[in-house]
Amino acid sequence: MKVLLDLQYLNVATTGIKTYMMELSKAVRKYPHPDIEWIFTHEPEDQAADKTYKSAHTKVQKLNYHLDYFRWKEFLLPDLVKKHKPDVLICLDFISPAASLPCRRLTVIHDAFFWQMPKNYSRWWRKYFTSLIRKGLKEQTEIITTSEYSRTSLLEHLGDSFPISVVYQAPKGLKTATDAHFLAKNQLSNQGYFLHIGTFDKRKNLPLLVKAFADFLGKTKSDKKLVLAGGPGESKQMNDLPTVENLVNEFGLEEKVLLPGYIADGEIKALYEGAFGYVFPSENEGFGIPILEAFGFGLPVIHSDQPALVEVAGGGGLTFATGNQADLTEKLVLLDRENNLREKLIQMGKRRSKDFSPQKFIEAFHQIILSPLV
């Protein structure tokens, strides 16, 4: 069985999709299957390091990227299919070629955000992108998604014309050495801060976290800090970083809330290893990788009761009602005061993290690849 894996999108992928693509690529090589021959369209590390379009900010730069992406999907990738003659083509970035292909397709659609949250996207871009998604759903296609919640959401918006399977992904393997000086450089003490890592997309609800943290400080007089690491949202419509910055100034939290921006893997490890707890207030997720990363580092997690996060946490996290500031504040206070609860959450999280691994990730793909399309 010959499988062609499309890795073109790694040249712009960030956060969750980048992790998905990189971890799957690593697992392919670490856990080979005797009946499957894998062909990569690109070398993963090299493609991820390509910065040609990562700094595309002007309209012309963005247009050039979209033209390059369209040319890849609709011309270059079909040519590679003709060249390598795979039995299966796997596209990990929502979109498969619109052209007819002589092979089976597995298309990974990570979530249903484009349909669920239209206000977060440019109208023309959303219409164009969802059109590309639908045009690529043809012939022998199976959709892969990240959680049962995402599967249910996709069935609602795409229907059941094509089978949809759930594959749980593996969290990022942080092999880089810990930056031993990062905490001290940022005036952070061990177990002296709550943590969130990710972009400032509106659906992440980070303004809610800042407000709840301000209330937490008022109720407890705690000396703990809040670290929100990550870059701005992917577009003006989606970006909540300015709102967060304004709230930090409004509440006088400049010394309490750290916004370090994008950080390297060694710095991420330092933050996970030193945090008191991880907080994930998102209103919509397809999966929730940071929960598993936090569990793996032995951190207790507070997360919204959004269905995908509840599914991934598997009862190992402390939930609050999505969007409810008072409830989130209450859970921050509870975690701060109840040492026994914190230790219990840590142990439950460690157990849950074992359910997600690179080997299980790739074995789920092996099973789908080697099973006939229903």
CATH superfamily of the 182-353 domain = Glycogen Phosphorylase B; (3.40.50.2000)
Query: CB atoms < 10 A from the CB of 346, how many?
Result: 19
Residue 56 pLDDT exceeds 70: no
The pLDDT confidence band at residue 125, using thresholds 50, 70 and 90, is: confident
Please indicate whether residue 53 or residue 185 has the higher confidence score (pLDDT): 185
Strand partners, 227: 195, 258
Lowest mean pLDDT among 151-165, 230-244, 317-331: 230-244
Residue 15's pLDDT is what? 79
Residue 280 sits at the vertex; the CA angle it makes with 277 and 284, to the nearest 5 degrees, is: 170
Burial of 45 (0-12, 13-18, 19+ CB in 10 A): exposed
CB 60 within 8 Å of CB 82: no
Residue 173 pLDDT exceeds 90: no
Average pLDDT over residues 146-157: 97
**Per-domain residue ranges of the chain:** 2-170+357-370, 182-353
Question: DSSP readout, 233-279?
Answer: -SSTTTB-HHHHHHHHHHTT-TTTEEEEES--HHHHHHHHHH-SEEE
Beta strands in the chain (DSSP E): 2-6, 37-40, 88-91, 104-108, 141-145, 164-166, 193-197, 225-229, 257-261, 277-280, 301-304, 318-320
Residue 14's pLDDT is what? 78
The pLDDT confidence band at residue 164, using thresholds 50, 70 and 90, is: very high
Residue 19's pLDDT is what? 92
Mean pLDDT, the chain, rounded, equals 94
Q: Rounded to the nearest 5°, which phi and psi values hold at 226?
A: -125, 125
Which residue, among 297, 69, 64, 47, has the nearest Cα to 172 in the 3D structure? 297
Which residue, among 289, 342, 297, 353, has the nearest Cα to 318 in the 3D structure? 342
The pLDDT confidence band at residue 119, using thresholds 50, 70 and 90, is: confident
What's the fold here for domain 2-170+357-370? Rossmann fold (3.40.50)
Tell me the pLDDT tens digit for each residue of 344-374: 999 999 999 999 999 999 999 999 999 987 6
CATH topology agreement for domains 2-170+357-370 and 182-353: yes
Which residue, among 115, 88, 114, 116, has the nearest Cα to 102 in the 3D structure? 88
Cα 301 from Cα 315, distance rounded (Å): 11
CB 278 within 8 Å of CB 301: yes
Residue 63's pLDDT is what? 83
How far is C-alpha 328 from the chain's CA centre? 22
Tokens 């206000």 found at: 119
Please indicate whether residue 174 or residue 27 has the higher confidence score (pLDDT): 27
Cα 15 from Cα 79, distance rounded (Å): 29
Residue 374's pLDDT is what? 65
Which residue, among 122, 123, 126, 130, has the nearest Cα to 94 in the 3D structure? 130
Residue 82 pLDDT exceeds 90: yes
Residue 184 pLDDT exceeds 80: yes
Residue 166's pLDDT is what? 97
Please indicate whether residue 374 or residue 89 has the higher confidence score (pLDDT): 89
Residue 61's pLDDT is what? 82
Tell me the pLDDT tens digit for each residue of 11-30: 988 778 999 999 999 999 99
Tell me the pLDDT tens digit for each residue of 215-251: 999 999 999 999 999 988 777 778 899 999 999 999 9
Order the strands of the 277-280 sheet from edge to edge.
257-261, 225-229, 193-197, 277-280, 301-304, 318-320
Which amino acid is present at 196?
Answer: H
Residue 54 pLDDT exceeds 80: no
Residue 80's pLDDT is what? 98
Residue 59 pLDDT exceeds 90: no
Residue 122's pLDDT is what? 81
Residue 100 pLDDT exceeds 90: yes
Beta strands in 37-140 (DSSP E): 37-40, 88-91, 104-108
Residue 185 pLDDT exceeds 90: yes
Residue 91 pLDDT exceeds 70: yes
- Who contacts 112 (Cβ-Cβ below 8 Å, separation ≥6)? 150, 153, 154, 156, 157, 286
Tell me the pLDDT tens digit for each residue of 196-208: 999 999 999 999 9
